[in-house]
Amino acid sequence: MPFNTSPDGAQIFYKDWGKGRPVVFSHGWPLTSDAWDVELKMVADHGFRGIAHDRRGHGRSSQTWDGNDMDTYVADLAALIENLDLRDVVLVGHSTGGGEVVRYAARKANGRVSKVFTAGAIPPVMIKSDKNPEGLPLEAFDQIRAGVLADRSQFYKDLSAQFYGTNRDGSQISQGARDDFWRQGMTVGLKAAYDCVKAFSESDFTEDLQAIDVPMIIAQGDDDQIVPIHDAAMKAVPLVKNAELKVYPGAPHGIAGPYQQALDKDLLTFIS
């Protein structure tokens, strides 16, 4: 299995499928690069090089005690892209990974990035404050941390319903998809899972979005129960110089089922 060494010595696992223009994927919380397998195969089948890593503390990467914060996540991504000497990169990020690729594109890309695509992404900022009164209160994220500490196995099983919208009438998402969410979540170290809640909820990407100067698609389902669209995509689009909004009616946070089919079609068109 391939690993990349980060500046602090952390070993970051990554998948590298296909040949051609690189498309680099970043996953959400509490998942791994496995969440992007369908898309990795899709881009590789269409003449691109699909790359996805396990964020530190997640999956097969090092479970470091320190560094479970957004700036270190971005440094890990930068080290991977630089060590593989990737150029003309298309960045794709879901949820927490959306924040990761936005910050990388704004602060670390050094001309290596040509396009950005996010789905259900956390930018601009999730937490409620005087500057962001429509955000989610701190108590909501404290409940997530408490669930992770108390019984993360059951917490992930329960959370998968909101993640994939199976608590909505007419959902077409399988139990298998929910089981895979649990499987991936259970590979995440407890410290990483706990610390990452602060990283995805309190990081402010407003200035990062304003700094992006390459074409960008900001995609989101309008029934996202994890990252509410009115405080995410709807606020992010006006901040980016060259951004297009894609809204998927009735789609949840998790990329699966009909939502995945529609999003993958738009992604392939965008990178082609």
Instruction: Let me know: does 17 contact 42? Beta carbons within 8 Å.
Output: no
The whole-angstrom separation of Cα 47 and Cα 145 is: 41
Of the candidates 54, 208, 224, 231, the residue annotated as catalytic is: 224
User: Does 204 participate in catalysis according to the annotation?
Assistant: no
Tell me the residue type at 254.
Answer: G
Of 95, 160, 201, 203, the active-site residue reads: 95
Query: What backbone torsions phi and psi does residue 238 show, to the nearest 5 degrees?
Result: -65, -15
Per the annotation, the verdict on 95 as an active-site residue is yes
Known catalytic membership, residue 253: yes
- Beta pairing partners, 171: none
Say which of 27, 58, 94, 253 is annotated catalytic: 253
Catalytic annotation, residues: 95, 224, 253
